[in-house]
Amino acid sequence: MSLIVTGSIGIDSIESPAGNVDNVLGGSAIYFAAAASFFSPVRLVAAVGEDFPAAFLEDFRHFNVDLAGLEQRQGSKTFRWRGRYHTNMNHRDTVSVELNVLAEKLPPVPGKYQDSEYIFLANTHPAGQIELLEQFPQRKLAVADTMDLWINNEKPTLLKLLQRVDGLVLNNDEAEMLAGDSNVIKAAARITELGPKFVVVKKGEHGVFVTHGGAKIVLPAWPAEAVVDPTGAGDSFAGGMMGYLASTGDLSANGLRKAMACGTIAASFNIESFSLGRLKQISRADIDARLREFSQMLRLDN
């Protein structure tokens, strides 16, 4: 079943305790699509500027992602972001952000994408998220991600979006900011009152909490020894999750739990390098092997 994403495509610069990199390929849609592509084909709709390096595009063709909806827009500049991680890599600061093409209209959706059923609105301007969503009235599932910048600066548009999606993924700080409650369980419950049927709260190394109807799902994170760069952890988590849901069509609570595990494992590989370095080295077999190990760690029945 077909999975489509919009979100940011960025030129990132990152300072982490494991080292610094300047001007590498990043962006929420990039991390999402790369991770999801291990589970399902992915269609991407997003714009970059005329400064976007051709080498990034060549590199990204490694993944099973349809790029017919990617526009290189003349006269515009690519989104840029610089982040700095604290010694405790659960915390980071945005040092600078240049929205550039993210503040403009989305490119047209290619006709061959019209039958997309699974929609992921990765982190980007909520106006762009709504613009894509409205083009898929027959969708089976629509899930969005968001971030502090949009919660602080674009709240009315974000609230409009929340009324229209089935699910929302966000991290614990963002959940607290959006719901005004520092308890993630209560914050997630409040957010469901804003529209989404399920809310996935990512808690970094402390795993994930999901509220779905009356049900709750909890999963720990993969016990990672070597974290090089957490950038894109949330997006690659969402990619594993949506890729699994689109490939199985299983939207039950059990399916959602398995999808969380796929997201956890996709993110666990992503954080082992800067940019897409690690995801480019692995195959679906590596993901499945780690999933089996993870599942063994979680066994409670004997």
Strands 118-121, 141-145: pairing kind: parallel
Nearest residue (CB) to ligand AMP, 120 versus 251: 120
Size of interface with ligand AMP, in residues (CB under 6 A): 17
Q: State which amino acid sits at residue 247.
A: S
Task: Determine, following the binding rule CB under 6 A, whether residue 126 of this chain makes contact with ligand AMP.
Answer: no
Nearest residue (CB) to ligand AMP, 24 versus 159: 24
CA distance 168 to 106: 21
Stretch that binds ligand AMP, among 38-46, 65-73, 103-111, 225-233 (CB under 6 A): 225-233
Within residues 127-146, the interface with ligand AMP by CB under 6 A covers: none
Question: Of the candidates 149, 194, 224, 253, which one interacts with ligand AMP according to CB under 6 A?
Answer: 149
Within residues 66-95, the interface with ligand AMP by CB under 6 A covers: 81
Stretch that binds ligand AMP, among 20-28, 127-135, 158-166, 279-287 (CB under 6 A): 20-28
Within residues 246-265, the interface with ligand AMP by CB under 6 A covers: none
User: In the complex, what is the shortest distance from the CB of residue 37 to ligand AMP, in angstroms, rounded to a whole number?
Assistant: 17
Nearest residue (CB) to ligand AMP, 12 versus 66: 12
User: In the complex, what is the shortest distance from the CB of residue 8 to ligand AMP, in angstroms, rounded to a whole number?
Assistant: 3
Task: Determine, following the binding rule CB under 6 A, whether residue 204 of this chain makes contact with ligand AMP.
Answer: no
Q: Can you give the three-state secondary structure of the chain, one letter per residue?
A: CCEEEECCCEEEEEEECCEEEEEEEECHHHHHHHHHCCCCCEEEEEEEECCCCHHHHHHHCCCCEEEEEEEEECCCCCEEEEEEECCCCCCEEEEEEECHHHHCCCCCCCHHHCCCCEEEECCCCHHHHHHHHCCCCCCCEEEEECCHHHHHHCHHHHHHHHCCCCEEEEEHHHHHHHHCCCCHHHHHHHHHCCCCCEEEEECHHHCEEEEECCEEEEECCCCCCCCCCCCCHHHHHHHHHHHHHHHHCCCCHHHHHHHHHHHHHHHHHHCCCCCCHHHHHCCHHHHHHHHHHHHHHCCCCC
Q: Which residue number has the CB closest to ligand AMP?
A: 26
User: In the complex, what is the shortest distance from the CB of residue 302 to ligand AMP, in angstroms, rounded to a whole number?
Assistant: 36
Task: Determine, following the binding rule CB under 6 A, whether residue 235 of this chain makes contact with ligand AMP.
Answer: yes
Stretch that binds ligand AMP, among 154-162, 183-191, 212-220, 233-241 (CB under 6 A): 233-241
Task: Determine, following the binding rule CB under 6 A, whether residue 49 of this chain makes contact with ligand AMP.
Answer: no
Task: Determine, following the binding rule CB under 6 A, whether residue 233 of this chain makes contact with ligand AMP.
Answer: yes
Tell me which residues touch ligand AMP (CB under 6 A): 8, 10, 12, 26-28, 81, 97, 123-124, 147, 149, 231-235
